[in-house]
Structure 1
C-alpha cells in the first residue's frame, strides 16, 4: 500500500513538472508564448466588459432593460456570423494580420461606445463588436491549430487556463470600479477593455505567421500536376473522396466532400451534423452563467452569496485542471470518449439542480455547489473534445473554412441557450432539468457515434479507455 501511494505521489510530481515545462515551452514555441499572453490580455478586457457593460448601458447611456435585452440579443446574432466569416477570410489570407485587424476593429467600436449615447447609435456599434469578438476567437483557434500542430489539445488547455486567469483578473478589477459606482469609473472600465485590444494587437504583431497556412496549402495543391501519383497527403483527399486524417501508418480516415465537388463545409453534411450536435454540447456555459444563479434565486432557499462562489469555483478549477484534462483527451478515441463523459456529467448536474428545489437552505446550497462542480468538469470535457473533433473532422486543405463553421455552435448557443433555460427548462420546474439532462446525454451518445463513424474508429483501445481527471 505504501509503495502504491509513493508511486502515485511520484506520478503527480512528474505531471506537475510536465505541466510547468509546457507553460515555459508551450506547443508552438515563441509564437505560442506570445499568443497566450495576448489571449490573457484580451480576456482581461472581456472580464471588464462582462462585469460592467450592463450597468454602463443602464446608468451612463440610460437604456431601459428592454432596450438592453434587444441590444445584446441582436449583438449575439451578429456574433454568429463572425466565425464563418473569419474562417472564409483565413482560407484566403494569412491569419496573423486578420487577427490584428479584429483586435483593432474592436478597439474602434469600444471607443465609439464611449461616445454613443442613444440606442440607435449603440445597436450597430455593439453588434460589430460582438462580430469582431467571435471572429477573433475563431482566428485564435486557427492560429493555434497551425502553430501547435498535433499538440493542439495541449495548447488549447494552456489557452483556456490563460483565458480564465485573465477573465478573473478583469472581473476583479471591474469589481473595484463598480464599487466606486460613478460615471467616470464606468467609462474607465470600458476604456480598459478597449486598451486591452490595443495591447493584444501589439503582441500578435510580434508573432510570425504559422508555417501551415491555408494560402500555402492552396499554393501546393495548385502546383501539383494533375493526375500526379504522389499518394495521399495527410489531411488531403484520397481516391474515394474521403479525407485522410493522418499519415499512412494508421491515422483515422475522415469523410470528405463528394467526389468532383470542391471542399467546403456548407456542402459537407457530415460536418454540418457535427456542428449542429455541438450546439447542445455547449449548454454548460448557459447553465453556469444563467441557470445556476436564477434557479438559486427563484426556486431554492440557498443563500444568494453562493452566486459569486459558482464563478470562483469554475475559474479556479479550469485554471488548475485544464492542462491535466487535456493530456487525457488527446486523439480521436479519447476525444470521442470525452463527449460521452460530458453527457454523463451534464445529466448528473441537471439531476442535482432538480433536487436542489426540494431541500432546505443549507442542503440546497451544498447541492448547487455540487452542480457547479459537475458543470465545470463538463466544461473541461467539452473544451477539449469540441475543438479536437472540429479539427480532426475537417480536411486539412479547407480547415480554415471548416473551423469557421464549427465556431458557430458556441455563438448560437450563447444566443439560444439563455432563453431556452429561462423560458422552457426553468419554467417547467425540476422536471425541466431532468428532461434537459436526458436530452443532452442522449445527444452526446449520438455525437460520439457519428464522430467515430466519420473518423473510422473501431473499438476503443485499452490504453485509451481511461479518461481520469487528476
Structure 2
C-alpha cells in the first residue's frame, strides 16, 4: 500500500516532499488571501481581481525566460532560488497597505511561482527517466491535492477567528513553507546546465517561440486547463445560483474532486507511457468532459432537490475523471515534444497555460455557463472535446517537425 501512495525512493520522493510542503502553505493561503486583502487591507473586490489579473499576466510572460535560466544555470539552483523568492514575495504581503504595493507584491509572487514551476519540471526531467516522468508527476499531483486539502483546513481555522493576526499567521506559514521547500530542493543532486550559451549572431535565444507546432499544442492544452476555474469558480456559482441543490454541495463537490485525484491520479496515469497513449488518453478525457458539461446543464432542470444533487455528483465525478485523463496525457506530451537540452524554456512555455487559464477563465466561464446556462455548458463541453481531439494532429505535426530538424542536423 505505501508504494502506491509514495513515489519511488530517491529524487522523485524528494520532489514529492517539496510539493507537499508547498501545498500545505498554499492551501491555507488560497482560502484566506482574498478575504485578507478585502477585510484587512481594505481593497475593493474589483481591484483585487484587477491586481491578480495583471500579476498572472506578468507571470505568464516570465515563464519562458526563467525556464531558459534554468537551462543555462542548472534547474536545481534556479528552483531553489525561485522557491526562496516566492517565500519572500508571500512575506511581502504582510506589509501591503494599498493597491499599488499589492500589485507589485502579486506580480513578484506570480513571476516566482511560474518560474519555479518551469524549473521544477526541468529538474524532474533531468533526474527522472523519461519513461517514468508521467508516473512521478501523477504522484506529485496526488501529493499536491493532499497538501492543499490539509492547508485549506488550516486556513479555515484562520477564517473562523477572522482576526488580522490569524490571517498574518497564515501568510507567514506559507512564506516559511516555500523557504523549507527551497531547503528540500537543495538536498537533491546537483544538475548542471543543459543548454550551451548562445553564440553571437546565432538567432533568437528562445527557440520555443519559433516552434509553431509546440505553440499549437500549448494553446490546445491551455483550453483544456479551463477546467481549473471551472471547479473553483463556475461550478460553485452554478450550484448556488442556477440549481435547487443545497449550498453545502459546493464543498462536497470540491472534496470529491480533490479526494479522487489523491486516490486515482496515479492509477489513471499508469497507462500513459508514450505520445500515442497520451494522445488517446487526452481524447478520452475530452469526451468525459463533454458528458460532464451535459449533466451539469441537466442539474438545473425543474426536478426534486435530490435530482439536482444526484446530477451534480454524477457531473462532478465525470469531470474529475476527465481532468485526470487530460492531466496525465498533457504531462507526457509537454515533456516528450521538448528538446532534452531546453526543457526549462519549453516547460516554461507549456506552463503558461496555467496563469492564462487563471487570468481569462473566470470571466469566460461565468459568462458562458453561469449567465448563458445550458447552451453555454454544451458549447464548453464541445470545446473540451474539440481541443482534446485536435491534440492528436498537433502532436503528430510536432513529431514530424522534430524529425525534420534531427535529419537536417
TM-score, normalising length from structure 1? Answer: 0.80
Task: Describe how 1:75-224 pairs up with structure 2 within 5 A.
Answer: 75-150=55-130, 151-210=132-191, 213=192, 215-216=193-194, 218=196
Specify the alignment match of 1:235 in structure 2.
Answer: none
What is the aligned counterpart of 1:392 among 329, 332, 336?
336
How far 1:375 moved relative to its partner? 1.4
Decide whether the 8 Å contact of 2:292 with 2:381 is kept in 1.
yes
Specify the alignment match of 1:326 in structure 2.
Answer: 269
1:293 paired to 2:236: yes
1:277-333 deviations in Å (ceiling 9; x for gaps): 111111211211112101011111110001111111111111110111111122112
1:160-203 deviations in Å (ceiling 9; x for gaps): 11111111110011111111111111111111111111111111
- Determine the C-alpha separation between the residues in 2 that align with 1:316 and 1:290: 18
Specify the alignment match of 1:265 in structure 2.
Answer: 208
Q: Which runs of 5+ in 1 are unaligned?
A: 1-15, 223-259, 457-470
Task: Describe how 1:357-372 pairs up with structure 2 within 5 A.
Answer: 357-358=300-301, 359-372=303-316
Residues 112 and 399 of structure 1: CA distance in aligned 2, closer, same or farther (over 3 Å) = closer
How far 1:209 moved relative to its partner? 2.1
Q: Secondary structure at the match of 1:91?
A: helix
Decide whether the 8 Å contact of 1:356 with 1:368 is kept in 2.
yes
- Determine the C-alpha separation between the residues in 2 that align with 1:166 and 1:335: 27
How far 1:452 moved relative to its partner? 3.2
Decide whether the 8 Å contact of 1:36 with 1:159 is kept in 2.
yes
How far 1:17 moved relative to its partner? 7.4
Residues 272 and 104 of structure 1: CA distance in aligned 2, closer, same or farther (over 3 Å) = same
Moved over 4 A (4+): 260-263
Task: Describe how 1:316-465 pairs up with structure 2 within 5 A.
Answer: 316-358=259-301, 359-455=303-399
Residues 110 and 400 of structure 1: CA distance in aligned 2, closer, same or farther (over 3 Å) = closer
How far 1:449 moved relative to its partner? 2.2
RMSD of aligned residue pairs (Cα, Å)? 2.2
Decide whether the 8 Å contact of 2:221 with 2:353 is kept in 1.
yes
- Determine the C-alpha separation between the residues in 2 that align with 1:405 and 1:330: 22
Specify the alignment match of 2:406 in structure 1.
Answer: none
Larger helix proportion, structure 1 or 2? Answer: 2
- Determine the C-alpha separation between the residues in 2 that align with 1:269 and 1:306: 43
Q: Secondary structure at the match of 2:383?
A: helix
Structure with bigger gyration radius: 1
1:325-356 deviations in Å (ceiling 9; x for gaps): 11112211210101101110110011011111
Task: Describe how 1:23-102 pairs up with structure 2 within 5 A.
Answer: 23=6, 26=8, 29-102=9-82
1:283 paired to 2:263: no
Residues 128 and 216 of structure 1: CA distance in aligned 2, closer, same or farther (over 3 Å) = closer
- Determine the C-alpha separation between the residues in 2 that align with 1:298 and 1:69: 21
Decide whether the 8 Å contact of 1:47 with 1:174 is kept in 2.
yes
- Determine the C-alpha separation between the residues in 2 that align with 1:131 and 1:31: 25
Q: Which runs of 5+ in 2 are unaligned?
A: 401-409
How far 1:423 moved relative to its partner? 2.0
Q: Secondary structure at the match of 2:73?
A: coil
Q: Which moved more, 1:304-313 or 1:443-452?
A: 443-452
How far 1:153 moved relative to its partner? 0.8
Residues 17 and 119 of structure 1: CA distance in aligned 2, closer, same or farther (over 3 Å) = closer
How far 1:397 moved relative to its partner? 2.6
- Determine the C-alpha separation between the residues in 2 that align with 1:320 and 1:398: 33
1:369-420 deviations in Å (ceiling 9; x for gaps): 1111111112211221111101111222322222211111122111111111
How far 1:454 moved relative to its partner? 3.3
TM-score, normalising length from structure 2? Answer: 0.92
- Determine the C-alpha separation between the residues in 2 that align with 1:174 and 1:443: 36
- Determine the C-alpha separation between the residues in 1 that align with 2:205 and 2:17: 37
Decide whether the 8 Å contact of 1:61 with 1:117 is kept in 2.
yes
Decide whether the 8 Å contact of 2:71 with 2:194 is kept in 1.
no
Decide whether the 8 Å contact of 1:82 with 1:133 is kept in 2.
no
